[in-house]
Structure 1
Amino acid sequence: MHAVILAGGKGTRLRPYTTCVPKPLVPIGDTYSILEIVLHQLRASGFRSVTLAIGHMGHLIRAFVGDGSRYGLSVVYTDEETPLGTIGPVLNVLDSLPEHFLIMNGDILTNLDYGAFLSRHMQTERPVTVATYHRELKSEFGVLDVDGAGTSIVAFREKPTVKFQVSMGIYAMTRETLRAYTPGQVLGFDTLMLDLLGRGERPGSDLFGGYWLDIGRPEDYDTANEQWPQMAPVLLPDYAQSAAD
């Protein structure tokens, strides 16, 4: 099994932590960077090879990870000279990828079993399966439904809760899904989804109920570090064993 990790972003929202280090290399706790946690998890769930899509401060990621051998992985790189979006970097290496593979952001902490997720996708005929997470947003206000003219109230809801599913930034992809696009073009996840839906192709949703934290803002990073003592055994069971030894 093969994974493409997107690690080329500037991490602007996470400044000042990313002023001198790329976001995937910021440390969690006092032992691992985000990227190291992900690499260890991929190896534990059956992956043997990884493509790292790098850009901003990519030389630091390349120097830190190397060929991946210390993680039990074979790691190769693809460089973005200019930002290509979420899916764009994959187009440049598409011919070297297996029929089914994983694409994921390099700033995610989760105990999702990546191997099982990809295997479930492979048992379907979906063009892409998105790992999704349940979210709720509670309104601070009473919500009024009005008629088309905007002059009459037709319904009222006191501080309703809106329930929805969000993308976890982890995708199981079938290679042929991306054949229609040209290497080097900018391609975001949003564009891909809209293109597929426009063609009548239905992406799959794989709802996950475990731990997931997208480290996009300083407060997310602070949360990750605060939770690390409790979450380390969940995210990295081998870490808990080594600590006990």
Structure 2
Amino acid sequence: MHAIILAGGKGTRLRPYTTHIPKPLVPLGDTYSILEVVLYQLRHHGFSSVTLAVGHMGHLIRAFVGDGSRYDLQVAYTDEETPLGTIGPVLTVLDDLPEHFLVMNGDILTNLDYSTFLRRHAATTRPVTVATYHREIKSEFGVLDVSEDGTTIVAFREKPTVQFQVSMGVYAMTREALRRYTPGQALGFDTLMLDLLGAGEQPGSDLFGGYWLDIGRPEDYDTANTQWATMAPILLPHLALTADALAQPSAAD
């Protein structure tokens, strides 16, 4: 099984943490970077090879990960000279990929079983399957439904809760679904979804109920570090990490 990890973004929303280090390499506690967690997880779930799509400060990621041997993975790289979006980097290596493969952001923490997710996708005829997560937003205000001319209230809801499913930033893809695009072009996940829906090729949704944290903002990163001692044994059970050991101060402290 093969995975493409998107690690080329500038991490603007996570500044100042990403001023001098790419977002996938920001540390969690005193143990691993986000990217290391992902690499260890992929190997644990049976993946043997990974392509890292790098761009901003990509040389640091190359120096840190190397050929992937310390993670027991074969790691290759593809470079973005200009931003290509979420799916654009995949197009540049499409001919080298297996029929079904994983694409994921390099800044998420989850205990999703990546191999089971990919196998479920491969057992369908879907062009793409998106790992999704349940979210809800509670309004701070009473919501009014009004007529088209805006003069009449037709319904009222006091501080309603809106429920929906969001993308986790993990996608199982079938190679042929991307053949219509030209390698080197910028292609976002949003465009891919709209193109597939417009062509009547409905993507799949695989709802996940475990742990998921998208580390996009400083408050998300703070949450990840606060939860790290508890979550590390769950995210990396095969490394025999214990919450007590992770909670101990480092020698530097």
TM-score, scaled to structure 2: 0.95
Q: 2:212 aligned with 1:212, yes or no?
A: yes
Q: For 1:25 and 1:241, how far apart are their aligned partners in 2?
A: 20
Correspondence for 1:227: 227
Q: Secondary structure at the residue paired with 2:226?
A: helix
Correspondence for 1:112: 112
AA partner of residue 31 (structure 1): T
Correspondence for 1:63: 63
Q: Secondary structure at the residue paired with 2:95?
A: helix
How far did 1:240 drift?
Answer: 3.2
Contact 1:51 1:78 in 2 (8 A): yes
How far did 1:239 drift?
Answer: 3.1
AA partner of residue 128 (structure 1): V
- For 1:161-199, what per-residue CA distance to the aligned partner results, in whole angstroms no more than 9, with x for missing partners? 000000000000000000000000000000000000000
Q: Secondary structure at the residue paired with 1:112?
A: coil
Q: For 2:49 and 2:18, how far apart are their aligned partners in 1?
A: 27
Q: Any residues of structure 2 matched to 1:94-113 within 5 Å, and which?
A: 94-113=94-113
Correspondence for 1:162: 162
Correspondence for 1:136: 136
Correspondence for 1:198: 198
**Structure 1 stretches of 4+ moved >4 Å:** 241-245
AA partner of residue 64 (structure 2): F
Q: For 2:241 and 2:137, how far apart are their aligned partners in 1?
A: 38
How far did 1:238 drift?
Answer: 2.4
Correspondence for 1:2: 2
Contact 2:232 2:243 in 1 (8 A): no
Contact 1:129 1:172 in 2 (8 A): yes
Q: Secondary structure at the residue paired with 1:159?
A: coil
TM-score, scaled to structure 1: 0.98
With over 3 angstroms needed to count, the CA separation of the structure-2 counterparts of 1:107 and 1:135, relative to structure 1, is same
Correspondence for 2:249: none
C-alpha RMSD of matched pairs (Å): 1.2
Correspondence for 1:22: 22
Count of residue pairs brought into register by the alignment = 245
Contact 2:147 2:153 in 1 (8 A): yes
Q: For 2:24 and 2:127, how far apart are their aligned partners in 1?
A: 28
Correspondence for 2:72: 72
Q: For 1:244 and 1:225, how far apart are their aligned partners in 2?
A: 15
Q: For 1:124 and 1:223, how far apart are their aligned partners in 2?
A: 36
- For 1:127-166, what per-residue CA distance to the aligned partner results, in whole angstroms no more than 9, with x for missing partners? 0000000000000011000111110011100000000000
How far did 1:232 drift?
Answer: 0.5
Segments of structure 1 that go 5 or more residues without pairing to the other structure are none
Q: For 1:220 and 1:38, how far apart are their aligned partners in 2?
A: 17
